[in-house]
A and B are shown apart, each in its own frame.
Chain A
């Protein structure tokens, strides 16, 4: 197994993931559960989900130990969430490693598609090259409001004076044309009058 130099340390990853989830409205579970007691792991909860994050030094370790981590998280959920509650179905296991593992790519991908017991979100150093990549990886767990675009509330027509001014059309001319267009008045006549003709 050959591994390239990782961009992040496990600590970086657990910190980044914790920050993103907390910012996304998740509550970190500070106290440890006996079932979930790993140094490089965190447990979060919001109104919908229970999320366990585990960071591994290597891909090999991840592939080797993820079933244990899954079992631990399932145990926590089944112990503390009633079986009739919907949240008992909404456990997510986030498995992260900073290591690059092209040779384990297929297994990692297979793990990503493994939906038994819990949905697994898996990322290796191949996916985690910048700090924002952590947010991208855990984004499926975040509310939409966190990254919702904030588009301009101006109508497209209202944008035109500035846009056309960049192409040499005076703002006043554009405003008059838009006004005529909205009033369904003859456009060229308005333009003609505006030109002092």
Chain B
């Protein structure tokens, strides 16, 4: 594939549209720095790969600051010399979004389809790369487009690993490395899933362990199990329940419902037994009460009532006597008070009379016995003379009150006795009623006490019998339930054995699957290890194939008087490939894998260009039959420069050659050296004569071949 033309607009140093005819064996681009040489070559790289790694793949840097449209656009036309088929790739970027289109003889493609088809046409080997465009850009950068900024990077700055990776990509071993990487990732994912499967197996194994332990336990118990239930015993028990009036539903002993049914039946029996016991307790209590009632004496109420009546009458009489006596004593106390008042008055009069005692009565004037009167008055004044009389005291009342109290006590006692007797009678009647009611509730009815007692005694006997029967049936039922449980345990053992067998099969199957997955993982690891070696082997093989060419190219420049041999040396360290560029002195038998240590800057440049051209020419399936060298003549001394130019001239015979230089003299040298060797050949010189905001001033001219191909030979022939 060769380049035919390039159209740039708004792209880097080309703000306005510029078209370039590139359909030549050699294109020499001459221009001062900053006039657009690198932009021209970047346009080719970007059109092909959509990437310019040197610019960190930042497309916003591609749009020219002076672009009227604000859009960078590149259209590159290529052709296949073998078929004559042409294709045009057009790529644009408007500052936000990139577009790509591809025109071929077969049809037009846009977007991803265009990218895919372009890769397929230019570098099919990149199609299987994780990032085909990146892989293509890498290969183009390493073997097609030697960029001015990166001219020495490969031999000087790149790490041995990066160098190995770059060459791996170039010689196709990049696919091997990617296969290895893919396989490593796939194996990791595979191992993760396998480990998950392993983890998922753990619950199954734990379940199996539990089941086996349970099985062991049940099996040990089953060996001590009771004899099996006979249908007769089973049926008889259920019949007995029916006979007791229980509504238990009989099921088959071997049925799954049997444990539940017998459990329900035993519960009914238990309820019946408890009911019978409560009845027995009630009957027993009633019997006790009847017996207590019979032993209790029946008091005589009428005599007690007569006595109370008598005592109440006597008490009333006595109270009346007491009242009368109390009235009499009151009257007597009033009389005595009157007398006492009179005495006091007399004493006052006596005192007055004594005070005024004279010979004659002041009232009547009569004479009187004064002495006797005085004595008399004095006696009255002293209170010793009056109408006092002796009256009976309160002794009689006291006696009466004592008698009254005694009578009241007697009457109260009699009334109490009466009330007690009446209460006892009432209580007996109530007890009788209660007993009757309770017996009625218990269904025990007797016409009289005697028959009632017998009936109660009979009921007690029946209750005792029922309790005993229920207890017996409970024991039998529990025995049946236990035997039933043993039977269930045997069934459970069978079930567990089946489940254990299923789990063992499942476990074995899964272990087999996991084991198979592990084997696959181990095989993958083996392949991975082998691929590591293989990637290196591929690189070594390819480099071994390229080695003579590299030496040939290097020898053409022959930059160093002693270090005249060059070779690649690769090795794998800890799974990572390393690539060294080794220069050696065959005569002095010296060798150095760091060329910059023994070569001058100019010589390193010459070596770098040699490596580039060796890789360009030596790559098995080049993406393009093109070699683009952006200003490779910098820092070269005369001899190296001439050697390189001669080399480029020979390269022109193998590759469509693009070389730029910032030096006009070198430009002249290149155009002369790269002249076509015949009329069929074509060499173009593109000169950038200055640059303005509209872009460079472009002058294109063609270089003619010499008029006579072999001048000396022909002159002799002539």
On A, residues with C-beta under 8 Å from B are 27, 29, 31, 43, 45-48, 50, 76, 80-82, 85-87, 89-90, 109, 112-113, 115, 119, 126-127, 136, 139-145, 147-157, 159-160, 163-164, 167-169, 173-174, 177-178, 181-182, 184, 186-188, 191-192, 195, 197
Contact = CB atoms under 8 A, between A and B. Distances in A.
A92 to B, nearest CB: 9
Nearest to B173: A156
A31 B618 CA distance: 39
B672 interface: yes
Nearest to A86: B672
Contact of A149 (B516, B545, B672): B545
Given A47-B709, A187-B182, A151 B619 contact: yes
Contacts of B546: 149, 151
Contacts of A90: 673
A188 B521 CA distance: 8
B712 A152 contact: no
Contacts of A143: 650, 653
A163 B712 contact: no
B639 to A, nearest CB: 5
B136 interface: no
A80 B553 CA distance: 31
Contact of A155 (B172, B526, B647): B172
Contacts of B173: 156
Given A149-B618, A151-B620, A155-B620, 10 more contacts: A43-B712, A45-B712, A115-B638, A144-B549, A164-B530, A167-B529, A173-B523, A188-B520, A188-B521, A195-B523
A85 B713 contact: no
Contacts of B647: 140
B7 interface: no
A139 B517 contact: no
Q: Max chain B CB contacts within 10 Å: which of A45, A90, A152, A160? A: A160
B654 A191 contact: no
Nearest to B640: A113
Contacts of A192: 516-517, 520
Contacts of A145: 653-654
The 9 closest A-B pairs by CB, nearest first: A156-B172, A197-B516, A151-B545, A47-B677, A149-B549, A167-B530, A188-B190, A147-B552, A187-B186
Nearest to B529: A167
B548 A147 contact: yes
A86 B677 CA distance: 10
B56 interface: no
A156 B549 contact: no
Nearest to A163: B534
B712 A76 contact: yes
A43 B638 CA distance: 25
B25 to A, nearest CB: 13
A19 to B, nearest CB: 17
Given A45-B711, A47-B709, A164-B531, A182 B128 contact: yes
B183 A177 contact: yes
Nearest to B710: A45
Given A147-B549, A151-B620, A86 B706 contact: yes
B675 interface: yes
A115 B712 contact: no
B224 to A, nearest CB: 48
Nearest to A183: B128
B183 A139 contact: no
B558 A140 contact: yes
A181 B182 CA distance: 8
Nearest to A158: B172
B177 to A, nearest CB: 9
A154 B521 CA distance: 29
Given A27-B713, A48-B677, A140 B706 contact: no
A155 B171 CA distance: 8
B552 A109 contact: no
A164 B516 contact: no
Contact of A144 (B187, B638, B653): B653
A152 B620 CA distance: 6
B516 A157 contact: no
Given A140-B555, A195-B519, A29 B561 contact: no
Interface in B330-377: none
23 contacts: A29-B712, A31-B716, A43-B712, A47-B709, A81-B712, A87-B706, A112-B639, A136-B564, A140-B557, A140-B643, A143-B653, A144-B552, A147-B552, A148-B549, A149-B549, A150-B545, A155-B125, A156-B125, A157-B128, A167-B534, A169-B527, A174-B527, A188-B187
